[in-house]
Amino acid sequence: MTGFGTCKYELRIYEEGDEAEIVKLFDKAYSNYGGYVRKTPEYWRWCCLQRPDVEREGILVAMEKATREIVGYVVAGKSGSLWELTCPPHPDKKEIVTLLLDNAVSYLEQKEAASVNFAAPQADLVIGQACKERGFATSAPPKMFLSVLNFQKLVSLIANDKADELKEKFDETLLIRIKDAPFWVCDTICVNINRNEVTVDDKSRDSTIHVDVDYLTFCSLLFGSLSPFDAFTRFRLKVRPRSKTPTLLRLLSALQIKTDWSFQLSEFG
Amino acid sequence: MSRLNEKKDYECRPYTCKDEEQVRALVKNVFGDFLGGEFWNWKYKSNPGFDPDLVMVAERDGALVGCNHWLLKDFVLSPSLETKAVLGADIAVDPACRSQGVGKTLLHSLRSSESVKIKKPSFVFMFADPSLAKRFHNPKGGYFLAPDRTAFYLKILHWGKLEDNVRRLNDQIAAGKFKDRLSGVKLNVLFKISNSPRLLFSMTENGIAVGEKDEGDVRKPDVTITADLNTLQKVGARKKRYLNMLKALLTGKLKIRGKPKSLIALYRNMWILQEIFSQKIF
């Protein structure tokens, strides 16, 4: 396979030891996204290299000829799935993606796969354009579903991540009661924000703001698929005292995960 | 855990290494080739994150009738935020024990298990067919759709799977199953699916012939159907088929061209295409 390529880039088959570079490349490509599993070289070996329908010949690495730097890679499974196709931002990204796609399709044609399919971020317009030019259709992506197991931990993580912003803007004790909490989650979350610290626990105490909310609404709020304003206008938030409603909406907005989520097919498994 | 098993003739308990053969057999029985044998070994046994404490099995009279696998992962929520989460992987229930609450009990048992209390994952994530998630995962496991912005790209290389569907239908025709319905049928239907090889169906009372149509092919179609892959999938699905077809026709996503006589013949024999397209086509 060495020698396949354009004037500036060439493809070669995966070689032992590439995984460290590959994982770095993946991290770079997904540095602005969430919604995927953190990869280590060991995890990548299991997830891609050892996957039952993947042969070494199906893992193609694109390199810049002059520098021998890895600039992209694709993991093609004989079943037709491109488990990973990754190319971080690069001036020649479209050329690299096209090179990877063309060679992955040729490999899969040899393997008599019925179709080629893969997932990529919607916001990646370069991949979208390369796919359009190569005759790919867009189809409904696989759906990811979530179920919260530990609200305190999740809210605490988000609150600590945004602690500086919260401490600067708020001085409140927010008590959240989840009306229809499933048996495996605690139905009380207390977020205490003052100038010195942000703490989250499940103890019911005197609060400056009290909100009643249902499980699905609270999950949608945390993961950013519903805005606090929409939740309020749909009567899904019951706030006490009512005068604190604007503060609550700003606080819930600050506690939301607002990053775009995207995953590749290698997340299966 | 015992509370969950009250009045039930099965018991949910954590997996032990002695269960391996039975679990593999159960998964193979439920998912067929997809997850049988080699795939189970890779997905669980060879997985660097496999933790037997996060597998729950349902046992009745010494035999395993269900299992639910969770895999602990480091999940990236945002560029600055990472947490322990579990992938809600394969949940399998012996077909003979369905509709007895085994799946629900397995889902709940893992959620209240000691190992989950110790490992403290923040949430479970999983991939599922939306209709199954609506029917089972959402009401029983509190699942909701992730705020995901992933695009899915697809290119058909050949129609081999669809040809397999036609072969199966022909076997049924040869066995005399559709003898009355096929009487007098003679129709050529050309499918022009965007970015895919063209496909010509020749329907006669002896059976269906299907093949990719290249430029040199002299067979003339009576009816030409033009659509994109997305539309074809929606129209082919059993659920809301006619509504989807009507919508696609009205919005121009599906075009059907032919002489009135041929279109009537197509309408009468639409069941043939439905039989073929309602199964996996790529």
Q: Is the pLDDT of residue A82 over 80?
A: yes
DSSP string, A143-197: PEEEEES-HHHHHHHHHHHTHHHHHHH--EEEEEEETT--TTS-SEEEEEE-SS-
Three-state DSSP state, A59 = strand
Selected residue with higher pLDDT from B197 and A177? A177
Are A147 and B124 an interchain contact pair (Cβ–Cβ within 8 Å)?
Answer: yes
Helix (H) or strand (E) holding A132: helix A125-133
Kindly report the backbone phi and psi dihedral angles of residue B12, in degrees, each rounded to the nearest multiple of 5, phi listed first: -95, 135
- What pLDDT band is residue A5 in, cutting at 50, 70 and 90? low
Are A80 and B157 an interchain contact pair (Cβ–Cβ within 8 Å)?
Answer: yes
Residues B85, B91 contacting (CB under 8 angstroms): no
Q: Which fold has domain B159-277?
A: Nonspecific Lipid-transfer Protein; Chain A (3.30.1050)
Structure tokens at A154: 């999740």
Q: Is the pLDDT of residue B37 over 90?
A: no
Structure tokens at A215: 């499980």
Residues B142, A182 contacting (CB under 8 angstroms): yes
Residue A107 domain flag: yes
Whether A47 and A112 share a structural domain: yes
Chain A residues lying within 8 Å of B49, measured CB to CB: 43
Compute the average pLDDT of residues B12-40.
84
Cross-strand partners of A36? B76
Residue A193 domain flag: yes
Q: Is the pLDDT of residue B23 over 70?
A: yes
Residue that is last in its domain, among A99, A114, A142: A142
Q: Is the pLDDT of residue B210 over 80?
A: yes
- For residue A119, what pLDDT is reported? 97
- What pLDDT band is residue B4 in, cutting at 50, 70 and 90? very low
Q: What is the mean pLDDT of chain B?
A: 88
**Domain total for chain A?**
2
Compute the average pLDDT of residues A4-25.
91
- For residue B5, what pLDDT is reported? 46
Q: Is the pLDDT of residue B94 over 50?
A: yes
Whether A61 and A88 share a structural domain: yes
Question: What is the rounded distance in angstroms from the CA atom of residue A76 to the CA atom of residue A219?
Answer: 35
Q: Which fold has domain B11-137?
A: Aminopeptidase (3.40.630)
Residue A2 domain flag: no
CA distances from A177 to A35, B91, B143, B181 (A): 27, 31, 19, 61
Residue A155 belongs to domain with CATH number = 3.30.1050.10
The length of chain A is 269
- For residue B218, what pLDDT is reported? 67
Residue that is last in its domain, among A142, A170, A198: A142
Helix (H) or strand (E) holding A69: none
Residue A44 domain flag: yes
Q: Which residue of A has its CA nearest to B124?
A: A147
- Over the range B167-187, which residues count as b (16 or more CB within 10 Å of their CB) and which as e? eebeeebeeeebeeebeebeb
Whether A93 and A169 share a structural domain: no
Whether A131 and A45 share a structural domain: yes
- Largest distance between two CA atoms of chain A: 70
Residue that is last in its domain, among A142, A172, A196: A142
Are A161 and B80 an interchain contact pair (Cβ–Cβ within 8 Å)?
Answer: yes
Owning domain of residue A14: 9-142
Residue A86 belongs to domain with CATH number = 3.40.630.30
Q: List where CATH 3.30.1050.10 sits in chain B.
A: 159-277
- For residue B2, what pLDDT is reported? 42
Q: Is the pLDDT of residue B177 over 50?
A: yes
Among all chains, which residue has been given the structure tokens 């997830």? A47
Are A30 and B49 an interchain contact pair (Cβ–Cβ within 8 Å)?
Answer: no
ipTM over 0.85: yes
Residue A180 domain flag: yes
Question: What is the rounded distance in angstroms from the CA atom of residue B208 to the CA atom of residue B166?
Answer: 7
Interval A164-184: pLDDT, tens = 999 999 999 999 999 999 999
Residue A266 domain flag: no
The length of chain B is 282
CA distances from B47 to A50, A51, A66, A171, B261 (A): 10, 10, 37, 46, 59
Compute the average pLDDT of residues A252-259.
96
Q: Is the pLDDT of residue B1 over 70?
A: no
Whether A103 and A162 share a structural domain: no
Selected residue with higher pLDDT from A226 and B278? A226
Sheet with B255-258, strands from edge to edge, namely B207-212, B199-204, B186-193, B223-227, B255-258
Whether A183 and A58 share a structural domain: no
- For residue B178, what pLDDT is reported? 84
Whether A135 and A157 share a structural domain: no
- Kindly report the nearest CA distance between residue B180 and chain A, in angstroms: 34
Q: Nearest Cβ partner of A138 from B46, B125, B151? A: B151
Q: Nearest Cβ partner of B128 from A145, A150, A216? A: A145
Whether A116 and A16 share a structural domain: yes
Whether A156 and A117 share a structural domain: no
Chain A residues lying within 8 Å of B234, measured CB to CB: none
Considering only residues 84 to 103 of chain B, which have any Cβ-Cβ distance to chain A shorter than 8 Å? 86-89
DSSP string, B131-191: HHIIIIIHHHH--EE--B-EEEEEEE---HHHHHHHHHHHHHHHTTTTTTTTTT-EEEEEE
Structure tokens at B262: 């041929």
Residue A263 domain flag: no
Cross-strand partners of B155? A116
Kindly report the backbone phi and psi dihedral angles of residue A126, in degrees, each rounded to the nearest multiple of 5, phi listed first: -65, -45
Whether A193 and A156 share a structural domain: yes
The crossing angle, in degrees rounded to 10, of helices A151-161 and A215-222 is: 30
Q: Which residue of B has its CA nearest to A108?
A: B157
Question: What is the rounded distance in angstroms from the CA atom of residue A22 to the CA atom of residue A85?
Answer: 11
Q: Which residue of B has its CA nearest to A138?
A: B153
Q: List where CATH 3.40.630.30 sits in chain B.
A: 11-137
Compute the average pLDDT of residues B84-98.
92
